[in-house]
């Protein structure tokens, strides 16, 4: 995952916030993903407007020492097509 690239939620993915984080459902692949962290949900929500995944982490308030863990979670979401590169 290129953390300096722009990313966005895949257009076929719906987010349902939950007390533990959120559920992501991909209507195309019919996959369900669980975000077990409210801060990760905040990062995913920032992706659509942030110029990069790193900027989304900054906007969501991810502490620098935790950044690798959140970027790894975003990479997993990219591998499952929940998020995708944005060409802006």
pLDDT, tens only, 73-84: 999 999 999 999
The full set of domain ranges for the chain reads: 7-83
Which pTM was predicted?
0.92
> What pLDDT digit, counting tens, does each position of 20-65 carry?
999 999 999 999 999 999 999 999 999 999 999 999 999 999 999 9
Q: Which two tokens stand for residue 6?
A: 């722009």
Round to whole Å and give the CA distance between 52 and 86: 9
Distances (CA, A) of 77 to 25, 68, 81: 11, 14, 6
Cβ-in-10-Å burial (0-12, 13-18, 19+) of 54 comes to middle
Sequence-distant contacts of 34-41: CB under 8 A, at least 24 apart: 35/73, 37/73, 39/70, 40/70, 40/73, 41/15, 41/17
Q: Does domain 7-83 have CATH number 3.10.20.30?
A: no
């Amino acid at each position: 995952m290129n953390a300096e690239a722009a990313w966005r939620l895949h257009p076929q993915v719906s987010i349902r916030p939950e007390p533990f984080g959120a559920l992501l459902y991909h209507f195309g692949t019919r996959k369900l993903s669980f975000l077990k962290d409210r801060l990760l949900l905040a990062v995913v929500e920032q992706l659509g407007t942030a110029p990069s995944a790193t900027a989304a982490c900054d906007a969501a308030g991810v502490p620098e020492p935790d950044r690798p863990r959140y970027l790894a979670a975003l990479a997993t979401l990219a591998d499952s097509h929940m998020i995708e590169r944005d060409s802006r």
